[in-house]
Amino acid sequence: MQKAALIVGAGDATGGAIARRFAREGYVACVTRRSLDKLQPLVVQIEADGGTARAFACDARKEEEVVKLVEEIESTIGPIEVMVFNIGANVPESILNETARKYFKVWEMACFSGFLNGREVARKMVARNVPEGAHRGTIIFTGATASLRGAANFGAFSGAKMALRALAQAMARELGPQGIHVAHVVVDGAIDTEFIRSNFPDRYAMKAQDGILNPDHIADMYWMLHAQPRDAWTHELDLRPWSEKF
């Protein structure tokens, strides 16, 4: 059995970078999205770099799919030593035009799915037969500026992200004494992605001055959190470019 890192929401930027980082450290990068085809380029890249990756199609909002996913990884690959929840669901809309259906969907994607995946992985970690005082595993939730404050036209996203932050705090207080490191990372700023390049060219131009976040550098911080000794665990870490106001 090998050690596994589960990356829920392994997109083309941050999630993919996190998967590559853990693969370089010898973990089997278990990457998930709803569409299996979209994961293949990431798997090919990890394997070309000498790592190991497995792709899984999973709707993180569906309890039965999440339960099956975690069970399959644990039984066929190895123990999930770290889980990163990295689903965004950033869909701006005026509160005057917001629909109940879309508001609920944003909450499902950005918060409820975090609960499902966090719960299932935590159940496996708590049940492990490990020495007294051992680090049972790490669970990391990706937050955003909206985790800390609401903004106009971001009622649904802010509500979901703030709820995810509260979930992370509650899990950390419950599971920390049981040897599970639960962390929440606030990514406060634009990330070097195709979306930012295409839709916000002025912001993307700041890349030359380190004005937007590099996904590989974000991934380094996730690895740092997982590698921390338990006498110096970080619960909340916020990352932003030097020029970002806060």
Tell me which residue has tokens 């406060």. Answer: 188
Q: Are 155 and 207 in contact (CB under 8 A)?
A: no
Q: Could you tell me if residue 96 is left (phi over 0), alpha (psi between -120 and 50 degrees) or otherwise beta? A: alpha
Starting at the earlier edge strand, list the strands of the sheet with 28-33. 52-57, 28-33, 4-8, 80-85, 137-144, 180-187, 236-239
Does residue 182 register a pLDDT over 90? yes
Q: Which amino acid is at 79?
A: P
pLDDT band at residue 148 using 50, 70 and 90 as cut-offs: very high
What's this model's pTM, rounded to 2 decimal places?
0.96
Name 85's bridge partners: 8, 141
Q: What is the pLDDT of residues 10-24, one digit of tens each?
A: 988 999 999 999 999
d(CA 6, CA 83): 5
Q: Tell me how crowded residue 77 is: count the other CB atoms within 10 A of its CB.
A: 18
Q: What is the pLDDT of residues 67-82, one digit of tens each?
A: 999 999 999 999 999 9
